[in-house]
Structure 1
Amino acid sequence: MTQIADKPREEVLKLYGNRLRLRICGLYREGEQLLMVRHRGIGPTNTFWCPPGGGAQFGEAAPAALIREFMEETGLEVEIGDMLFVNEFMQPPLHALELFFAVNATGGVLQQGIDPEMSIDGQIIEDVRLMSFAEIKSYPPEEVHALFRYCNSLDDVFQLRGYLP
């Protein structure tokens, strides 16, 4: 049982650990809710909620990477809006520079997707859903993306600009 539970964490560390990674992330809002993805294998409690996103591939422009990541993780087709801010995610051995964009859905069906870089038994996406700001903030700080520490409302999320340390 422990071996299966550790598989996602092992794959995360193997694929992304001890190197700098560029991630492209999207903020998708529906009314007073934000689309969030729950990952396992990340953080001290093995639960980590964050907006959809992932790594750009060599030769892939940031907007194209985000369109691909949204389809893989959420089933949604999106158009990319303004670039809002940059976050530096540092939870050793993970380190990523994250570019956050506003996105609008243009099609598709919201569903829990997959991470194609992970094996079938090492999948890290556990849930994909729209969440209110209060629901996001109800989780312990180590279980949600650090960007929410800078915000007191969902509107604040979309006002973030520049570099978040």
Structure 2
Amino acid sequence: MTQVLEKPGVDSSRQEVLKLYGNRLRLRVCGLYREGDRLLMVRHRGIGITDTFWCPPGGGAQFGETAPDALVREFSEETGLEVKIGDLLFVNEFMQPPLHAMELFFEVQATGGTLRLGSDPEMGLDEQIIEDVQLMSFDEIKSYPPEEVHTLFQHCNSLDDVFQLRGYLHP
């Protein structure tokens, strides 16, 4: 088991992420929401080696909460959008020790709400890690260094490819 140590000078948001999510397996639900040739992405700080991480909206399911209900809640919290959950597309195993998550990726459609920068209710107001929410083209997503975007994009050459992914994505 990897131990998380408090280090002087390490960003407090990174420490909060490690405290809440580190050194345990999490079940996450993630949604792929597309408008034309753009995919909805959320930028987090405190994750990865550069403290910048872009990924589709999503988060942890709570005990007693179905995966679709968790994803509806996460979209509302992070993006302000109300969504309808579509098909389960694929499963990704996210492994960046001490973070480890099994991620269920669903297709989603917006049914209401207004796109906005949301928040993570598990974090304090001064410890928020969500920094930006944007609809991005595939080229914009791929313009970031690979360590700053979700690994699912390493399996794709276009936005259409993202929606064709199936099964288990190997890390």
Q: Structure 1 residue 7: deviation in Å?
A: 1.4
Aligned partners of 1:156, 1:5: CA distance in 2, in Å?
37
SS across alignment from 1:129 = strand
In 2, Cα distance between the equivalents of 1:4 and 1:123? Answer: 18
1:140 is the counterpart of 2:145:
yes
Aligned pairs for 1:41-120 (under 5 A) are: 41-120=46-125
Partner of 1:155: 160
- Count residues in correspondence: 163
Separation in 2 of the partners of 1:123 and 1:7?
10
- TM-score normalised by length of structure 2: 0.94
Letter in 2 for 1:77: E
Alignment gaps of 5+ in structure 2: 1-7
State the distance in 2 between where 1:110 and 1:8 align.
Answer: 24
Q: Which runs of 5+ in 1 are unaligned?
A: none
C-alpha separation in 1, matches of 2:158 and 2:11: 35
Percent identity among equivalent residues?
80
Corresponding residue for residue 39 of structure 2 = 34
Aligned residue type for 1:82: D
Q: What is the Cα-based RMSD across aligned positions, in Å?
A: 1.1
Question: After the TM superposition, which segments of 4 or more aligned residues of structure 1 sit over 2 Å from their partners?
Answer: none
CA distance in 2, matches of 1:5, 1:63: 35
Alpha-carbon offset, residue 5 of structure 1: 7.2
d(CA) in 1 for partners of 2:11 and 2:144?
22
